[in-house]
Amino acid sequence: MIRLGLMGCADIALRRMIPAVAATEGIELAAVASRNPDTARFVAQCADAEPVDDYRALLERPDIDAVYIPLPPVMHAEWIGRSLRAGKHVLAEKPLTISYETTSEMVALARASHLVLRENYMFLHHGQHRRVRELLDEGTIGDLRSFSASFAIPARPPQDIRLRPELGGGALFDVCGYPLRAAQLLLGSDLKLLGSGLRLDPRQRVDIGGSALLRRADGVTAQLTFGMDHQYTSEYELVGSAGRISLRHAFTPPVDHRPVLRIERGTCQEELVLQQEDQYAAAVAAFVQDIAGNNTAVDPATVRQAGFIAAIRRTADRSCGCAS
């Protein structure tokens, strides 16, 4: 049994990850730490775990095997590093850190320590994307020509941490990651950034939307759009020489949602209805399997992701004449 420590009581932890841990065999939430001791006690009581006074005390516990870190992005590097040095496996919310260099350092530390380090893009563990990959490999839409993906959410309340640049907020660090990671998943690692743009909110001093264009060596392009003051959008589409596949609810499908893959070939249209899945529990189960199987190899896409985000920022700054 893997004993997990929760480092921070963010909304994603309370709504998604604590129930997912409870539903997964081989792992249990053993301790909860928060900057607010009252919050730690309340959450621990609800989850049948032990409250811990602070993050350092959590890492000092010899009975904790792994930690889940849903802290604000600007805090990730410090506490991922502390956790790995304390001998704990780490599942951290995205982005892993807010810089390419620091992400590379954390990955190197995990490898040297022979510990599991995972960036928690939960959508990767939903079977709908594996089915899309199978359709592409089977030549269902012919030769792939282009990929487009969008992930956008409605405007956040003013106090939301995603609107605070000093905490690592902004659409680039938050919602951009989903279509960007999906492009890597479906198009592979041979991608180059051609251009990007960001839209800034001068009141919040943070980027609230943007787009990026990537290209594979064979000419396949990926158009990505993202934002935090939009109509909710969560979808992608692949266009080939002989057809098209589209998927809605691509990144945050509800647990009871049955995915529908829409396939168009010429004048023929087909809807492939898949089984509902809990991607949150699947992400936790994958983390458990990695620890149990001693799979400490860090996904190379994690470092590439950080590199793309840094490049999108630089390219967008140059295009608008802003300082890098």
* 101/303 Cα distance (integer angstroms): 9
The residues near 151 (Cβ < 8 Å, ≥ 6 apart) are 175, 176, 178, 179, 225, 226, 233, 234, 250, 251
Please classify residue 207 by burial: count the beta carbons closer than 10 Å to its beta carbon, then call 0-12 exposed, 13-18 middle and 19+ buried. buried
| 3-state class percentages of the chain: helix first, strand second, coil last, to nearest 5 | 40, 30, 35
Q: Which two tokens stand for residue 146?
A: 């282009």
Query: 96 in helix, strand or coil?
Result: coil
The DSSP-derived string for 35-87 is SSHHHHHHHHHHHT-EEESSHHHHHH-TT--EEEE-S-GGGHHHHHHHHHHTT
* 312/139 Cα distance (integer angstroms): 32
**Is-contact 123 16, C-beta < 8 A?**
no
Query: 172 in helix, strand or coil?
Result: coil
The secondary structure of residue 33, as a DSSP letter, is E
Please classify residue 274 by burial: count the beta carbons closer than 10 Å to its beta carbon, then call 0-12 exposed, 13-18 middle and 19+ buried. middle
Q: Let me know the angle formed at the C-alpha of 52 by 47 and 57, rounded to the nearest 5 degrees.
A: 140
Q: Is 94 a catalytic residue?
A: yes
Query: 10 in helix, strand or coil?
Result: coil
The secondary structure of residue 178, as a DSSP letter, is H
Of 88, 130, 95, 93, nearest to 110 by C-alpha is 88
Q: Which of 76, 82, 89, 94 does the annotation list as catalytic?
A: 94
Q: Which residues are catalytic?
A: 94
